[in-house]
Amino acid sequence: MRSRTHRPKYKFFPSSSCRSQFRLLPVNDLQLPKLFHILCCSVAERKLLGLQKKMEELGVIVDDTFVYNEEKHLTVMKTSLFFAGDGYTVYDCKGELVFRVDSYGPDAREKDEIVLMDAQGKCLLTVRRKRPSLHHRWEGFVGERTEGQKPIFNVRRSSIIGRSSMTVEVFKGSGDEYQIEGCFGNRNCTIFNAAKEPMAEIKRKVDATTNVVLGKDVFSLILKPGFDGAFAMGLVLILDQINGDSFDEDGTEMDPTAGD
């Protein structure tokens, strides 16, 4: 019977004379676990880098803490019903506080700048109205805005003539652009990316136990995987302000995406 000869295990190792050339070195069984561990770490690092790149591509704009790998349903509640855009609290499906906006009252000067905070009160984003502007232009700043700070995005009406959508231009990273279509006054809006893929939706809230549609002061914000929830909530604040400004002379509410 033909005897089997033991074949040593080999690994590639760069030659000192030229890095493009490789030579084979024998590897014993004691070295295999260490080599396997190194390979696994390299794979994990590559996956992490790939995930970070994917998150940047999908829309991490304000804070990656609020970027989820699964579809996320948030409940948005107005904290006061006396004035349009008076304040908000935002909860997840477990009833835990995610975002909050303190009451900013009826004073027009206060309404021109709004701060979005997390559950602990950390300032995540400041949205500020740019005056004068025929397009209802708003700007977003990371954290609490300081004098001279540059915005990371702006929101404007696509056209001042007739019915139009809202355009969101992002200055951070690759400079993406989004479109907001629908009617925020009816709590029926969708945020699309440049490829016309829905990234977030605003919908009327339905009570799961009674199957009753709740009032407009409580609604759902649905985030698609990879989209920045803090950024989406900042857009909600802007839409709320535009909607609060959009009334006919007889007091009839207008579509916030309609022209002046």
For the stretch 64-92, pLDDT in tens is 899 999 999 999 998 865 555 568 999 99
| pLDDT tens digits along 218-230 | 999 999 999 999 9
Among 67, 44, 255, smallest CA distance to 157 is for: 255
Q: Please check whether residue 154 is in contact with residue 235, taking contact to mean a CB–CB distance below 8 angstroms.
A: no
Residue 195 pLDDT more than 80? yes
The backbone torsions φ and ψ at residue 62, rounded to the nearest 5 degrees and listed phi first, read -105, -55
pTM of the predicted protein model = 0.70
Query: Band of the pLDDT at 247, cuts 50, 70, 90?
Result: very low
First CA to last CA across the chain, in angstroms? 94
Structural domain spans, the chain: 64-245
What Rg do the C-alpha atoms of the chain give, in angstroms? 26
On the question of pLDDT at 51 being above 80, the answer is: no
> CA 245 to CA 212: how far, in whole Å?
29
CA torsion 120→121→124→128, rounded to 10°?
160
To the nearest whole number, what is the mean pLDDT of the chain?
A: 76
pLDDT (average), residues 201-210: 92
64-245 is a CATH 2.40.160.200 domain: yes
Pick 212 or 15 by higher pLDDT.
212
pLDDT, greater one: 224 or 247 = 224
